Amino acid sequence: MFIRLYHFSYGSSSDIIAVITGKRRAPKEAAARIHTVERRAGRRPVRAAASEEMKRGGSGKENRKVKVLIIGGVAAGTKVAAKLKREDFGADVTILTMGKDISYAGCGLPYYVGDVIRDRKQLIVNTPASFEKLTGVRVVTETEAVKVNRQEKTVEAVSTVTGERSVYGYDKLVIATGASPIKPPLEGMDLEGVFFMRTPKDAITLRERIEAGDVKRAVVVGGGFIGLEVAENLLARGIKVSVIDMAPHVLPGFDPEMAEYVEEHLADKGIMTFTGTRLEGFLGEGRLEKVQTSRRAMKADLAVLSIGIRPNTGFLADSGIELMPNKTVKVDAYFRTSDEDIYAVGDCATVTNRETGQPAWSPMGSSANIEGRLLAKTLAGGGQPYPGVLQTAVCRLPGLNAGRTGLSQEQAKAAGYDPVSVVTVVDDKAHYYPGAGNFIVKMTADRATGKFLGIQVLGPGAVDKMVDIAVTALTLKASLADLENMDLAYAPPFSTAIHPFVHTVNILLNKMSGAFETMTPEEFAAGAAGEYQIVDAAVQPSLKNVPYLDLTKIDGPVDGFARDAKLLLVCTKGKRAYMVQNRLKYFGYTNTKVLEGGATFNRVEDDE
């Protein structure tokens, strides 16, 4: 028996492979065996890549450092760099970035505008100098990459200060250039008072304008998460705020009835939303006076544009690197592009949806950091495939938080599922505990299999907790049956004895079994209640001019209601009406429906 040790070098890290055999085997054979095993695992062999790298750089004895060049220095780029240096401190890592700052808190910008974050220095996670000292990464600021030469394995760059051109070589290239705000070519875009919300400078200049003391009205263009967070913070500073958006509703990714509830809530708090409204320009003499929309001209002292972003990939146009239709970089599960030595992560890359396997663009700080960490491990010789995104999101609004993950009902239909959903209003903690409130929840599952598909949650409390439980369920591919008896944390200040997530699972299971027969808010809004007699089933009478049923007094057939009468039972949240339905069914009533979400979620007009 012979034991032969083979040494394979990959940059500054190396592997020693022992081959125990009855005969001598050449290193070439051993490498081939490793190549085959890793091919079966569904990825390009890292050690095979190391062997190819060694051929390009000379003999393994030289142990040459692999040059990793990262273009982009905010979330994804700095995460790749920092993690890679922790995995292999000997790696030669350089970041090129256009701005003066790196690693800034982009998601915190609206809260700086609102003076929740008081000091602008808190927006900068690391300066280039501190990042270099912390990680050992070389950072080159105010430098724009303008061309990738794949054959020569170089990147041409230009100083944004002097215009001087330079060339940087690489063994592995990481594109983490992010995205920039869409700036439509409209009249008045250059007026004083028109702002964007993408960089610390944007937030700093907007706050300075507000603190000048002459801002009374503002228009936010864009009803996505950032736009609504900006609106919330402007309102908190005493500014009258309107939000316009071309889409039918604010909060992309939420089903229409959930978004409509948010729009009405915002109006109650003083933020008017104008959906289906197109921005047409800005009017004023030297400074903004009005925002011209497809509806009318709206008076405004300032406007904040948050209408979307475009990936910063223009410099790749002639590189031959494959792009998606939206100009993001197409990557595989290891973030490799169509060039095996070039990778892309963050807002400039399209990944996959974890549930559907379809391409998905997820320009979120959370996604960027996860992707960056995984890519660093791959570059260091390990790594694992990225399972994809769930489009998880959460935001704070005035008096209301909103969160979602997974597929909405509309998205589930488009993905080929037969979705069934329920809207519930459940306690967010013990109802008797001070500060207790409600969660409004829409939960969706597949009708045939019971597979859990997604959740949307609104409420004044910890909606993120509900969403995070859902993320765990989706990650583990759970069914409703897997979730109905989860032993989740309970104490009166935190939750209910049966957790509100599990409570909603049980309600959806009851609906799927037929024990709970309902009319959805969507159906109710579309007029499905027209042929039903609305019945007040609340604890105390709450609807005028409609009959009232007291659960505690139903002990047989109810006078005035035939057993086949179509009755729509309405209470405050839906729970009491369910209990009334259950009792009526026992006494032979066959056509009852409960209005999901009750009067809390639906606008129930009293009959006159």
pLDDT of 505-536, one tens digit each? Answer: 999 999 999 999 999 999 999 999 999 999 99
Q: How confident is the model at residue 63 (pLDDT cuts 50, 70, 90)?
A: low
In the three-class reduction of DSSP (H, G, I as helix; E, B as strand; rest coil), residue 180 is classed as strand
Does residue 44 have a pLDDT over 60? Answer: no
**Cα→Cα distances 369→78, 81, 273, 567, Å:** 9, 11, 32, 52
CA pair distance 476, 482, nearest whole angstrom = 10
CA pair distance 272, 265, nearest whole angstrom = 10
Backbone angles phi, psi at 336, to 5 degrees: -80, 140
**Residue 33 per-residue DSSP state:** H
Q: Worst-scoring range by mean pLDDT, 64-68, 397-401, 455-459, 581-585?
A: 64-68
Tokens 């008017």 belong to 272
Q: How confident is the model at residue 607 (pLDDT cuts 50, 70, 90)?
A: low
Q: Worst-scoring range by mean pLDDT, 111-125, 137-151, 239-253, 354-368?
A: 111-125
pLDDT of 277-329, one tens digit each? Answer: 999 999 999 899 999 999 999 999 999 999 989 999 999 999 999 999 999 99
Does residue 439 have a pLDDT over 90? Answer: yes
Does residue 213 have a pLDDT over 90? Answer: no
pLDDT, residue 7, reads 34
pLDDT of 79-98, one tens digit each? Answer: 999 999 999 999 999 999 99
Give the 3-state DSSP-derived string for 155-171, with helices as H, strands as E and coil as C: EEEEECCCCCEEEEECC
b/e code 479-491 from CB counts within 10 Å (16+ = b) = bbeebeeeeeeee
pLDDT of 215-264, one tens digit each? Answer: 999 999 999 999 999 999 999 999 999 999 999 999 999 999 999 999 99
**Cα→Cα distances 61→5, 6, 11, 58, 85, Å:** 15, 12, 11, 8, 22
Q: How confident is the model at residue 270 (pLDDT cuts 50, 70, 90)?
A: very high
- What lies within 8 Å, CB to CB, of 91 at 6+ separation is 11, 12, 65, 66, 68, 84, 85, 379, 380
In the three-class reduction of DSSP (H, G, I as helix; E, B as strand; rest coil), residue 542 is classed as coil
Q: For the chain, first and last CA: distance in Å?
A: 97
Residue range 194-307 in CATH 3.50.50.60:
yes
Domain 399-513: homologous superfamily in CATH: FAD/NAD-linked reductase, C-terminal dimerisation domain (3.30.390.30)
Share of the chain above pLDDT 90, in %: 80
- The class that CATH gives domain 67-180+311-379 is alpha beta
pLDDT, residue 122, reads 82
CA pair distance 300, 295, nearest whole angstrom = 15
- Given 3.40.50.1980, 3.40.250.10, 1.20.1260.10, 2.60.40.740, which CATH number is that of 518-601? 3.40.250.10
pLDDT of 371-386, one tens digit each? Answer: 999 999 999 998 899 9
Q: How confident is the model at residue 149 (pLDDT cuts 50, 70, 90)?
A: very high
pLDDT, residue 22, reads 36
Average pLDDT (28-47) is 37
Say whether 518-601 and 194-307 share the same fold. Answer: no
Radius of gyration from C-alpha coordinates of the chain: 29
Q: Where are the domains of the chain?
A: 2-62, 67-180+311-379, 194-307, 399-513, 518-601
Average pLDDT (173-182) is 94
In the three-class reduction of DSSP (H, G, I as helix; E, B as strand; rest coil), residue 487 is classed as coil
Tell me which amino acid residue 527 is: G
pLDDT, residue 105, reads 76
Tokens 């209990």 belong to 579
Mean pLDDT, the chain, rounded, equals 88
- Give me the residues paired with residue 157 across strands: 145, 166
Does residue 411 have a pLDDT over 90? Answer: yes
pLDDT, residue 605, reads 75
DSSP letter string over 198-250?
SSHHHHHHHHHHHHTS---EEEEE--SHHHHHHHHHHHHTT-EEEEEESSSSS
Tell me which amino acid residue 104 is: Y
Does residue 25 have a pLDDT over 50? Answer: no
What order do you get walking across the sheet with 518-519 strand by strand? 518-519, 592-595, 567-570, 533-536
Tell me which amino acid residue 48 is: A
pLDDT, residue 543, reads 92
